[in-house]
């Protein structure tokens, strides 16, 4: 063992110790076999020399074994002392052990064997040598104690075991030398325990080391496993959306790039469909991201179920999804028909409400489609075209599918310009409120609706039909909506204070996004009490889309608002996506028939839709208000149907506050021409910017 590790000082000192002990033992044998005094003295000289050589190396061994670093100085001291003793030993007639030595009468053993022996007397040197060995032994015990305390318990205990044996053998040797005991010396046998103990220690060490290695191996395997799974996760994150587990934008770009580039091949065409959830922000902000994520997962599953194997479905991040379909052998018309069919299927897949926790949510989407190949259009252009078509779908009231047409590009550029101008419009005080009266069958005013107006120096007057959806998408609706509510309450307070006869209520439009704010009810309550307003004078108008996302949540909030006294109207009724079934559960005061139903009213013609809505509203005990009443004819038809409350250009356009007051004073006699001027003094059309008005729905251009 010592030779294997001979490079270390500890092992080298142990080798010397072993050699010395062997020497001592051989000398002891020679002593026992000595026939005369001279031979015995020679053996004793050898033995003493080995003992004195052993002492400094044993010292070194213990010091190194117990972890002492710098031993050279003390080793030299012990070695010098032992050298001095060695000289004295060799010069003494019988060595240092004995002062006298003579042949003793032989001992006859019971079996007849004759053993010769020597009669000796112990010298003073012997005692001092033994004292030195005792000192080194106790010093070794002290060192072992330190080692034990440092935590190297097994090594320390093994050393103490050996020192115990050594001490016993040493005492035994002293008793022999004193002539008290007649026996052979056992010190060397005690030393033989050292290799055994060291071997035992080594086995234990090896065992421990192999266990440590096994543990380390296990840890390495574990960390290797976690490294592999981290690599997998990274690869997954790099290529798949973490929420929906669908391929992500980067992954899609790679595949789509290849597919779109290959469109040069004859007979290979297809379509790119971009789907964006309408009002997803409302769900995310109103109900929390965990609900939003659940919705996205469900949407992904539903879309996947309708998108075939030949198409790639990917998530572009958040609520944006993309589908790429290749149709081999189809002409442009075939591609178009297939894409529209798929878009309809996707819309239909989202139709059924989804249950997320306690929320029952209805999700709708807009889809933009672009087809390929197109001359000179690369993958980026086709993607951009689908994006433009999607914007168009969003602009046109959402929940629609639009196929890209080159004329849409201009509209999108205007949209981007509008987005740029809309940011900061509030700070630049570009918003104002206009007011449109609501009247009864006798043309008496029953209430007023506040309508937001945006006049931008560059764009002119921009319709809320255009900028409200944009504000909803960009999140700007929050500050804008707050401003509208505050301005409405200020106006209400001023009119009440000044005794203006504006009917029962002032109505304000609330976007779904505002209603989904968990603090909406609380905020409105604070606002009303800060202006000391009677909540019964305020009406909020909601569209059906507000109710789509979280019907139960809406019912709770509306019930709270109604309990405060605030009136609630359902705006644009009949244009929404949902069934009438929820009407019963909603705490509503007013149902507003959308102007699209009013526009088509003609006397003498059957009007099943409009009359149906009026009948439902009346049946449920709600006041039905028709909006968009423009002609006397429409008024009469409505009155015949039993709809007595109207709002529309026939009575007044939405007016600035001062014009509205004049309208009131003049008993609603402000002429339509005057109203048009009042509404927009510098332009005869309601919306100044030709670009913007060019994109307005027909109804607004007529305004």
Site of interaction with Mg ion (CB under 5 A): 509, 541, 571-572, 627
With CB under 5 to 8 Å by kind, the binding choice for 648 among ligand C2E, Mg ion, none is ligand C2E
Supply the minimum distance, in Å, between the C-beta of residue 397 and ligand C2E: 10
Of 96 and 629, the one with the shorter C-beta distance to ligand C2E is 629
With CB under 5 to 8 Å by kind, the binding choice for 638 among Mg ion, ligand C2E, none is none
With CB under 5 to 8 Å by kind, the binding choice for 463 among ligand C2E, Mg ion, none is ligand C2E
Of 13 and 647, the one with the shorter C-beta distance to ligand C2E is 647
| DSSP symbol at 444 | -
Supply the minimum distance, in Å, between the C-beta of residue 264 and ligand C2E: 46
Q: x-or-dash pattern for ligand C2E, window 613-632, by CB under 6 A? A: --------------xxxx--
Token digits of residue 181: 């005991």
- Inter-residue contact 312 to 255 (CB < 8 Å): yes
Of 82 and 590, the one with the shorter C-beta distance to ligand C2E is 590
Among 260, 342, 363, 452, binds ligand C2E (CB under 6 A): 452
Supply the minimum distance, in Å, between the C-beta of residue 634 and ligand C2E: 9
Site for ligand C2E in 237-276 (CB under 6 A): none
Supply the minimum distance, in Å, between the C-beta of residue 609 and Mg ion: 16
Supply the minimum distance, in Å, between the C-beta of residue 286 and ligand C2E: 15
Task: Return the range that interacts with ligand C2E (CB under 6 A); candidates 65-73, 210-218, 270-278, 643-651.
Answer: 643-651
Supply the minimum distance, in Å, between the C-beta of residue 346 and ligand C2E: 27
484 sits near ligand C2E (criterion: CB under 6 A):
yes
Q: SS3 of 4, please?
A: coil
- Inter-residue contact 67 to 150 (CB < 8 Å): yes
- Give which of 399, 432, 415 is closest to 660, Cα–Cα: 432
Q: SS3 of 376, please?
A: coil
571 sits near ligand C2E (criterion: CB under 6 A):
yes
Nearest to Mg ion by Cβ — which residue? 541
557 sits near ligand C2E (criterion: CB under 6 A):
no
For residues 238, 240, 242 and 246, what is the CA-based torsion angle, rounded to 10 degrees? Answer: 170
455 sits near ligand C2E (criterion: CB under 6 A):
no
Task: Give the separation between CA 703 and CA 694, rounded to whole angstroms.
Answer: 13
With CB under 5 to 8 Å by kind, the binding choice for 464 among Mg ion, ligand C2E, none is ligand C2E
Round to the nearest angstrom and report the end-to-end CA distance of the chain. 106
- Inter-residue contact 637 to 603 (CB < 8 Å): yes
Q: Which residues pair with 271 in a beta bridge?
A: 325, 371
Supply the minimum distance, in Å, between the C-beta of residue 549 and ligand C2E: 15
Supply the minimum distance, in Å, between the C-beta of residue 593 and Mg ion: 9
With CB under 5 to 8 Å by kind, the binding choice for 456 among ligand C2E, Mg ion, none is none
With CB under 5 to 8 Å by kind, the binding choice for 583 among ligand C2E, Mg ion, none is none
For residues 596, 600, 604 and 605, what is the CA-based torsion angle, rounded to 10 degrees? Answer: -90
| DSSP symbol at 109 | P
With CB under 5 to 8 Å by kind, the binding choice for 197 among ligand C2E, Mg ion, none is none
- Inter-residue contact 489 to 432 (CB < 8 Å): no
Supply the minimum distance, in Å, between the C-beta of residue 344 and ligand C2E: 27
281 sits near ligand C2E (criterion: CB under 6 A):
no
509 sits near ligand C2E (criterion: CB under 6 A):
yes
Task: Give the separation between CA 390 and CA 137, rounded to whole angstroms.
Answer: 93
* DSSP string over 446-502: EEEEEEEEEEETTTEEE-HHHHHHHHHHHTTHHHHHHHHHHHHHHHHHHHHHHT---
Q: How far is CA 355 from CA 165, 359, 552, in A?
A: 82, 6, 12
- Give which of 512, 513, 538 is closest to 527, Cα–Cα: 538
With CB under 5 to 8 Å by kind, the binding choice for 546 among Mg ion, ligand C2E, none is none
Q: SS3 of 656, please?
A: coil
Burial 639-678 (b: 16+ CB within 10 A, else e): eebebbbbbbbbbbbbbbbebbbbbbeeeeebeeebbbeb
541 sits near ligand C2E (criterion: CB under 6 A):
yes
Supply the minimum distance, in Å, between the C-beta of residue 225 and ligand C2E: 54
Q: x-or-dash pattern for ligand C2E, window 580-619, by CB under 6 A? A: ---------------x------------------------
- Inter-residue contact 539 to 567 (CB < 8 Å): yes
Task: Give the dihedral sign, CA 163/169/170/172.
Answer: positive
Q: Which residues pair with 359 in a beta bridge?
A: 356
With CB under 5 to 8 Å by kind, the binding choice for 468 among Mg ion, ligand C2E, none is ligand C2E
Of 199 and 479, the one with the shorter C-beta distance to ligand C2E is 479
451 sits near ligand C2E (criterion: CB under 6 A):
yes
- Inter-residue contact 698 to 682 (CB < 8 Å): no
Among 282, 284, 385, 511, binds ligand C2E (CB under 6 A): 511
| DSSP symbol at 576 | S
648 sits near ligand C2E (criterion: CB under 6 A):
yes
Task: Give the separation between CA 660 and CA 655, rounded to whole angstroms.
Answer: 5
464 sits near ligand C2E (criterion: CB under 6 A):
yes
- Give which of 466, 415, 395, 488 is closest to 686, Cα–Cα: 466
Burial (Cβ within 10 Å: 0-12, 13-18, ≥19) of residue 584? exposed
**Applying CB under 6 A, what is the total number of residues that bind ligand C2E?**
25
Residue ranges that bind ligand C2E, judged by CB under 6 A: 436, 451-452, 463-465, 468, 484, 509-511, 541, 571-572, 595, 627-630, 647-649, 654, 699, 703
């Amino acid at each position: 063992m010592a030779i294997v590790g001979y490079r270390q000082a500890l092992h080298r000192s142990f080798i010397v110790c072993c050699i010395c002990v062997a020497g001592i033992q051989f000398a002891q044998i020679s002593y026992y076999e000595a026939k005369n005094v001279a031979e015995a003295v020679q053996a004793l000289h050898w033995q003493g020399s080995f003992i004195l050589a052993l002492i400094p190396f044993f010292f070194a061994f213990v010091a190194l074994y117990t972890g002492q670093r710098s031993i050279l100085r003390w080793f030299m001291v012990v070695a010098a002392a032992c050298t001095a003793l060695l000289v004295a030993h060799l010069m003494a007639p019988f060595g240092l052990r004995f002062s006298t030595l003579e042949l003793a009468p032989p001992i006859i053993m019971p079996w007849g064997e004759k053993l010769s022996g020597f009669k000796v007397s112990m010298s003073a040197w012997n005692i001092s040598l033994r004292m030195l060995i005792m000192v080194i032994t106790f010093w070794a015990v002290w060192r072992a104690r330190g080692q034990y305390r440092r935590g190297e318990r097994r090594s320390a205990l093994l050393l103490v075991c050996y020192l115990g044996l050594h001490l016993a053998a040493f005492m035994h040797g002293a008793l022999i030398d004193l002539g008290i005991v007649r026996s052979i010396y056992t010190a060397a046998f005690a030393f033989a325990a050292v290799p055994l103990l060291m071997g035992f220690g080594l086995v234990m060490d090896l065992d421990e080391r192999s266990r440590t290695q096994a543990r380390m191996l296990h840890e390495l395997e574990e960390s290797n496993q976690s490294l592999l799974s981290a690599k997998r996760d990274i690869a997954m994150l790099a290529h798949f959306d973490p929420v929906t587990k669908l391929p992500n934008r980067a992954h899609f770009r790679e595949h789509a790039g290849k597919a779109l580039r290959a469109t040069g091949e004859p007979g290979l065409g297809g379509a790119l469909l971009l789907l964006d959830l309408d009002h997803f922000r409302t769900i995310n902000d109103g109900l929390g991201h965990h609900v939003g994520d659940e919705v996205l997962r469900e949407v992904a599953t539903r879309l996947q179920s309708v998108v075939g194997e030949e198409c790639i479905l990917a998530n572009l991040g958040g609520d944006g999804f993309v589908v790429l379909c290749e149709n081999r052998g189809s002409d442009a018309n075939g591609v178009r028909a297939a894409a529209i069919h798929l878009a309809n299927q996707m819309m239909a897949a989202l139709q059924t409400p989804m249950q997320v926790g306690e929320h029952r949510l209805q999700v709708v989407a807009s889809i933009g489609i672009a087809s390929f190949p197109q001359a000179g259009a690369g993958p980026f252009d086709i993607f951009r075209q689908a994006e433009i078509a999607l914007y168009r779908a969003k602009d046109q009231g959402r929940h629609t599918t639009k196929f890209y047409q080159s004329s849409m590009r201009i509209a999108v550029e205007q949209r981007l310009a509008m987005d740029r101008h809309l940011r900061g419009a509030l700070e630049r005080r570009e918003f104002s409120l206009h007011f449109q009266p609501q009247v009864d069958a006798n043309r008496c005013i029953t209430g007023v609706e506040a309508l937001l107006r945006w006049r931008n120096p560059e764009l002119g007057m921009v319709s809320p039909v255009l900028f409200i959806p944009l504000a909803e998408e960009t999140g700007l609706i929050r500050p804008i909506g707050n401003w509208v509510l505050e301005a409405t309450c200020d106006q209400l307070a001023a009119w009440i204070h000044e005794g203006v006869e504006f009917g029962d209520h002032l109505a304000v439009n609330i976007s779904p996004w505002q209603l989904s704010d968990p603090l909406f009810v609380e905020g409105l309550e604070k606002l009303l009490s800060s202006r000391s307003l009677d909540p019964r004078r305020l009406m909020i108008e909601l569209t059906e889309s507000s109710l789509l996302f979280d019907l139960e949540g809406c019912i709770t909030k509306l019930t709270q608002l109604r309990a405060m006294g605030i009136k609630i109207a359902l705006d644009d009724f009949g244009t929404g996506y949902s069934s009438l079934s929820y009407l019963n559960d909603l705490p509503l005061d007013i149902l507003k028939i959308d102007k699209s139903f009013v526009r088509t009213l003609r006397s003498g013609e059957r009007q099943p839709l409009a009359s149906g809505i009026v009948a439902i509203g009346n049946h449920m005990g709600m006041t039905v208000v028709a909006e968009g009443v423009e002609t006397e004819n429409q008024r009469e038809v409505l009155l015949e149907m039993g709809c007595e409350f109207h709002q529309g250009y026939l009575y007044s356009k939405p007016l600035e506050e001062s014009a509205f007051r004049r309208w009131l004073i003049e008993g609603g006699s402000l002429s339509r021409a005057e109203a048009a001027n009042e509404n927009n003094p510098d332009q005869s059309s309601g919306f100044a910017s030709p670009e913007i008005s060019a994109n307005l729905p027909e109804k607004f251009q007529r305004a």
